[in-house]
Homo-oligomer: A and B are copies of this chain.
């Protein structure tokens, strides 16, 4: 979570559970090619409640990881999660991505997952991250893109519900369509050798763990989670909202399909 900006998904217990379901369903997609050598210094920027931190730490057991978040409450939750998992190579710290309390070139690698989508000035945030990287150090960024969502059966009501989430995230200063623009953002922040690889989640009835873990408990749960605010802000009426959520669940039936794409960017500090 980022300084001074509301986290669009809130901080409820159910949201924390959703983040863990999401991490489980997409862990392989995200982490399969993210490994840091022993002894390297890694900054995890915007660790939130630590949904990715444990996997990051377990996959790079010899790396020395510093995980930061602007929310003291999230940092405490992440710390507790890492402790419970027996992770010992992560130090947690409250810090603002725009005002990092680290000297230049303090890290060999920076990792940021689902952070830029909530940042009002992503190029500025990326530039700040670049300053604490060694020359030749790497940046790894992972983001979703809610506009990459499509499904069968098609439903205007479901699209409208998703648009409410996109709009609320925009009102909170974020950009939930950011995945598709990682390449120009990372280039603009002065990185080189920028490589973006999309990671598409495709769900049909032959993949029941994704029907449950992604379509229902990650994506649709995320949309459902902003229902009260969407209604309170007058973006939609209750009946239309219920139709939208119903139609999202409809895509999890045996003849339904669901598509969503995450984007990973890797780049080098010159």
What is A's interface to B at a CB cutoff of 8 Å? 145, 147-148, 150-152, 154, 177, 180-181, 183-184, 187-188, 194-198, 200, 202, 204-206, 254-257, 259, 261
> Judging by beta carbons under 8 Å apart, are A152 and B206 in contact?
no
Chain B residues in 8 Å Cβ range of A206:
183, 194-196
Chain B residues in 8 Å Cβ range of A180:
150-152, 257, 259
Of the candidates B184, B195, B197, B255, which one forms a contact with A257 in the assembled complex, judged by CB atoms under 8 Å apart? B184
What is the distance, in angstroms, from A65's C-beta to the closest C-beta of chain B?
A: 29
Per assembly, the copies of the chain total 2
A151 to B148 alpha-carbon distance, docked (Å): 10
Chain B residues in 8 Å Cβ range of A184:
152, 204, 254-257
What is the distance, in angstroms, from A251's C-beta to the closest C-beta of chain B?
A: 10
Of the candidates B187, B196, B259, which one forms a contact with A148 in the assembled complex, judged by CB atoms under 8 Å apart? B259
Chain B residues in 8 Å Cβ range of A197:
202
> Judging by beta carbons under 8 Å apart, are A196 and B204 in contact?
yes
Chain B residues in 8 Å Cβ range of A257:
180-181, 183-184, 196
A158 to B8 alpha-carbon distance, docked (Å): 29
Question: Can you give 24 A-B contacts (C-beta < 8 A)?
Answer: A147-B154, A148-B150, A148-B259, A150-B180, A152-B184, A154-B177, A180-B257, A180-B259, A181-B257, A183-B204, A183-B205, A183-B206, A184-B254, A184-B255, A184-B256, A187-B255, A188-B255, A194-B206, A195-B206, A196-B204, A196-B257, A198-B202, A198-B259, A200-B200
